[in-house]
Structure 1
Amino acid sequence: MTPENVLSNPPRVLSQKQREFYFENGYLLLERIIPDEVIDQLRRVTAEVVKDSRSRTRSDHIFDLEPTHTAEEPRLRRLSSPVDYHPYYWEFCSHSILGDIVADLVGTDVKFHHSKLNFKWARGGAEVKWHQDIQFWPHTNYSPLTVGTYLYDCGMDQGPLAVIPRSHSGELFDQYGTDGNWTGFISDRDLERVDLVSAVYLPGPAGSITIHNCRTVHGSRPNESPSGRPLLLHTFSSADAMAYTPNPIDSPHSQEIIRGKMARYAHHDPRPCQVPPDWSGGYKSIFHYQQRENKVMAM
């Protein structure tokens, strides 16, 4: 659906002004919108993740561990596909207010794509360099968006999500390096064309959500505080957005309709999109590729 089509439908949760702000700027911050009892349950489930990680000694397709991770001092970077790890993550993703908010921004028919839980551990949790999402998983249109849920209060010193307003309407950047390998971030040379001075940081209390469009340039600083910053991320699209490439964080729930119905026709945006490496052989995490922890696959 086009923004005009979406805006022609009455909103379920958001105001029309909030919807218009999203389409103009490419992001939203909604403070304390998730009920406390839901956040409490998400925290309990996430504590199980941390406990489970203590027995892990190396990263795999589920747990992405910082190099200094130990059983005594666990340091997780990411849990991939939390909706497959514990049923409550999927319940929250598909049956909470989240789906209605997304329907206000992509249209009445909403499709799930993938999820992840980025921990950004205390005292040095890794930065996420400036990048755009859609090059990781291109679709036939640019309706996909990602909703981040703060499980705890997130202040400026914890590395909150940062976005470049209106960048979703601008250039789609090359996220390969000069050596032909995938980096997953925008090069310093290309960043000269990004208005970094306009960056907006999105801290918020527990229960707040961030929303950014798949073309929006975004990133986050390292966490230098004594408190972690777990951010639960779910990516959705309009039902008429069809993926061109394998899902890097695949799930049995991928392509599941969480609101409305399946699309009979695909909607194609004429603007081209860069294609990533073939993820069907396996995907690490954005931290692995951005930090070049070992040589990665060339296109």
Structure 2
Amino acid sequence: MTPEDILSHPPRKLTQAQREAYFRDGYLLLERIIPMETVELLRRTTAEMVDRSRKVTRSDAVWDLENGHSAVRPRLRRLSAPCDHHPVYWDYVRDMLGDIAADLLGPDVKFHHSKLNFKSAEGGTEVKWHQDIQFWPHTNYSLLTIGTYIHDCGMENGALGVIPGSHDGPLFDQYNDKGQWTGCLQEADLAKVPLDRAVYLCGPAGSLTIHHCRTIHGSAVNDSPADRPLLLATLASADAMAYTGNPIKSRWEHFPVRGGKARWAHHDPRPCLLPPDWSGGYSSIFALQQEESGGEAPIRAYAG
């Protein structure tokens, strides 16, 4: 849907000013919008998932491990598709985030994927400046990602940074000069980005970050003594149709969290970069950006 179409529907959870700010700036920070009893439930669930990771010895399609991970001291970068691995995450996304997403995507909203980025204490990996939609291009750009701060998040533990207004700017090539997918902006393109205008979305537990799928964003290393788990859910307007396979597959993909399915696809005339063919497997944005051995999926172009 277009922003004008979306804003023509009455708001459910957000104010009209918040909705307009999202379309103007490409992001929102909603402080303390999630009740603390829900935050505590997410914390307990996340602790349970961390305990499960103690038996994992190498990264796989579910767990992405930080260097130094062990059963005694789990160090994690990501749990892929947490909504598939524990019902608490799915119930939370479906029940508590649906109305907020509908205010920014229109009345018909579908689920795309979820991930839980941990950013471990004292060195948890940075996420370099990048845009999301090139990982999973669609027929239009009415997609967003909602992040839930399970604990307080500040500059010291790698708060999400965004470039205001960049969703209305160009999409950048996230391949390097060797034709390898890196999942981040190259140095020459970063020189064109006003990084001095970056806004860092610090907030207490129970806060939400929301960013548009074209918004340039990233986060620094976690230098604090505490882990910083961030639950992320990507949602789409029902009329946004994927051109390529989902790198983080989920049994809930395309599930209508609000409204119903679309009868017509909406096509934005602006082109979108295509990623590698993820059907051969996907590691994680961390492995790709850090150019780790085995981190890059095979480069196979999509047909059609």
Residue of structure 1 equivalent to 2:164 = 165
Residue of structure 2 equivalent to 1:52 = 52
Q: Distance in 1 between matches of 2:205 and 2:51?
A: 21
Deviations 1:228-278 (A, max 9, x none): 110000000100000000000011100110100100000000000000000
Q: Distance in 1 between matches of 2:283 and 2:103?
A: 32
Give the drift of 1:155.
Answer: 1.4
Residue of structure 2 equivalent to 1:215 = 214
Q: Distance in 2 between matches of 1:192 and 1:281?
A: 33
Give the drift of 1:50.
Answer: 0.7
User: SS where residue 252 of structure 1 aligns?
Assistant: coil
Q: Distance in 2 between matches of 1:59 and 1:192?
A: 33
Q: Distance in 1 between matches of 2:107 and 2:99?
A: 9
Residue of structure 2 equivalent to 1:91 = 91
Q: Distance in 1 between matches of 2:293 and 2:242?
A: 28
Residue of structure 2 equivalent to 1:294 = 293
- 1:203-282 maps to which residues of 2 (within 5 A)? 203-282=202-281
Give the drift of 1:2.
Answer: 0.5
Counterpart AA for 1:151: I
| Backbone CA RMSD of aligned residues | 0.7
Residue of structure 2 equivalent to 1:16 = 16
**TM-score, normalising length: structure 1:** 0.99
* Contact 2:277-2:299 within 8 A present in 1 as well: no
Give the drift of 1:281.
Answer: 1.5
66-75 vs 230-239, greater mean Cα deviation = 66-75
Q: Distance in 2 between matches of 1:236 and 1:267?
A: 16
- 1:53-132 maps to which residues of 2 (within 5 A)? 53-96=53-96, 98-132=97-131
User: SS where residue 242 of structure 1 aligns?
Assistant: coil
Q: Distance in 2 between matches of 1:160 and 1:229?
A: 9
Residue of structure 2 equivalent to 1:42 = 42
Give the drift of 1:67.
Answer: 2.0
* Contact 2:140-2:268 within 8 A present in 1 as well: yes
Residue of structure 1 equivalent to 2:133 = 134
Counterpart AA for 2:27: Y
Q: Distance in 1 between matches of 2:227 and 2:203?
A: 14
**TM-score, normalising length: structure 2:** 0.97
Aligned pair count reads 298
Give the drift of 1:280.
Answer: 1.1
Give the drift of 1:68.
Answer: 1.3
Residue of structure 1 equivalent to 2:154 = 155
Give the drift of 1:298.
Answer: 2.8
User: SS where residue 90 of structure 1 aligns?
Assistant: helix
Give the drift of 1:294.
Answer: 1.2
Q: Distance in 2 between matches of 1:231 and 1:66?
A: 15
Gaps of 5+ in 2: none
Give the drift of 1:95.
Answer: 1.1
Q: Distance in 2 between matches of 1:181 and 1:274?
A: 13
Deviations 1:174-209 (A, max 9, x none): 000111110000001100111101000001000000
Q: Distance in 1 between matches of 2:182 and 2:154?
A: 28
User: SS where residue 103 of structure 2 aligns?
Assistant: helix
Q: Distance in 1 between matches of 2:87 and 2:282?
A: 23
Q: Percent identity, aligned pairs only?
A: 65
Q: Distance in 1 between matches of 2:257 and 2:37?
A: 22
User: SS where residue 100 of structure 1 aligns?
Assistant: helix
Q: Distance in 2 between matches of 1:102 and 1:50?
A: 28
